[in-house]
Amino acid sequence: MDRNVGSTDKTARILLGALAGLVSLSILASAVSLPAILAPVLGLASVILLGTGFSGFCGLYRLLGVDTCSVDAR
* Residue 74 located in a structural domain: no
Which positions ≥6 away from 11 have C-beta within 8 Å? 53
Which structural domain range is residue 28 located in? Answer: 7-64
* Residue 41 located in a structural domain: yes
Residue type for 24, please?
S
Burial of 13 (0-12, 13-18, 19+ CB in 10 A): buried
Please report which confidence band the pLDDT of residue 37 belongs to, taking 50, 70 and 90 as the band edges: very high
* Residue 16 located in a structural domain: yes
pLDDT value at 74 more than 70? no
Proportion of the chain above pLDDT 90, given as a percent: 88
Q: Tens digit of pLDDT for each residue in 11-36?
A: 999 999 999 999 999 999 999 999 99
Q: How many structural domains are present in the chain?
A: 1
* Residue 71 located in a structural domain: no
